[in-house]
Amino acid sequence: MNPAGPGRTLAALAVIAVAALAAFWTATSGFRVLTSESARRLSVSRQPLALPSARLADGRELTAAIRDDGRVVLVDFIYTQCESLCTALGTDYQQLQREIQRRGLGDRVRLLSLSFDPDRDDAATLARHQARLRADPALWQASTVPDVAQRARLLAAFGIVVVPDGRGDFVHNAAIHVVDAQGRLRGIHDLGRWPSALADALEAN
């Protein structure tokens, strides 16, 4: 029996453990990232993502319109027939609108809701939807991207997954996205985290 054997084994295990810990540290950006979505959010906060070209229903190119306007935009993705996540987003945006108005931030930040259901969400339908939410057109607009390929690229850039449910509606995820005045995605915030989204927008301004 070699008495040094167990010691060598423990030392080898310790080396393996340290190497695994180091690899995990690197892969998770210092343990701050444990999912691919978290990694994506951290990435865009560090390095804003240029958005693909997408033309809105009124003919404007999205990022050009943002740059021309000069305000930071908080963007969400909805469809007007939705009664779950989109309702929660609507509530968040109502609170954002009130806070922007209360603090006189309308010259720095605005809101944009983009529908991924252009077949049903035409201009008139979106206008009725905005009226129900008491959206101030100067602060909160709604539109859609009619072109299928452009819409798919835009959803992918924002990390929005939309799957038809077979009953005419959609299963999808939801978040509040901060797009800076250069038309770059620089922040992603969960439902209910509208105060942090607004703070992030103000930092980007």
Assign residue 194 the CATH number of its domain: 3.40.30.10
Structural domain of 63: 49-204
Give Cα separations from 122 to 128, 131, 169 (angstroms). 10, 14, 16
Are residues 41 and 55 located together in one domain of the fold? no
Instruction: Give the model's pLDDT for residue 42.
Output: 83
Instruction: Give the model's pLDDT for residue 205.
Output: 78
Q: Is 193 known to sit in a ligand binding site?
A: no
Are residues 68 and 12 located together in one domain of the fold? no
Mean pLDDT of 182-190: 95
- pLDDT at 96 > cutoff 90: yes
Are residues 165 and 85 located together in one domain of the fold? yes
Instruction: Give the model's pLDDT for residue 90.
Output: 95
Residue pLDDT, tens place only, 109-128: 999 999 999 999 999 999 99
Are residues 79 and 34 located together in one domain of the fold? no
For residues 10-36, one letter each, b for 16 or more C-beta atoms within 10 angstroms of the residue's C-beta and e for the rest, the string is: eeeeeeeeeeeeeeeeeeeeeeebeee
Instruction: Give the model's pLDDT for residue 43.
Output: 80
Q: Is 86 known to sit in a ligand binding site?
A: yes
Cβ(74)–Cβ(111) below 8 Å? yes
The three-state DSSP-derived secondary structure of the chain is: CCCCHHHHHHHHHHHHHHHHHHHHHHHCCCCCCCCHHHHHHHHHHHCCEECCCCECCCCCEHHHHHHHHCCEEEEEEECCCCCCHHHHHHHHHHHHHHHHHHCCCCCCEEEEEEECCCCCCCHHHHHHHHHHCCCCCCCEEEEECCCHHHHHHHHHHHCCCEEECCCCCEEECCCEEEECCCCEEEEEECCCCHHHHHHHHHHHC
Are residues 81 and 33 located together in one domain of the fold? no
Mean pLDDT of 179-200: 95
Instruction: Give the model's pLDDT for residue 5.
Output: 61
pTM for this predicted structure: 0.81
As for how many domains the chain has, the answer is: 2
What is the distance between the alpha carbons of residues 132 and 22, in angstroms, rounded to a whole number?
A: 53
What is the distance between the alpha carbons of residues 149 and 54, in angstroms, rounded to a whole number?
A: 9
Instruction: Give the model's pLDDT for residue 18.
Output: 55
Are residues 30 and 107 located together in one domain of the fold? no
Instruction: Give the model's pLDDT for residue 4.
Output: 52
Are residues 25 and 58 located together in one domain of the fold? no
pLDDT classification of 87: cutoffs 50, 70, 90: very high
Are residues 39 and 91 located together in one domain of the fold? no
Are residues 95 and 23 located together in one domain of the fold? no
Which has more pLDDT, 167 or 15?
167
Are residues 18 and 109 located together in one domain of the fold? no
Are residues 62 and 96 located together in one domain of the fold? yes
Residue pLDDT, tens place only, 16-60: 555 544 543 454 445 443 456 777 788 888 899 999 999 999 999
Are residues 34 and 80 located together in one domain of the fold? no
Mean pLDDT of 63-87: 94
CA proximity to 86, closest of 146, 40, 126: 126
Least confident of 5-14, 15-24, 87-96: 15-24
Least confident of 35-39, 70-74, 168-172: 35-39
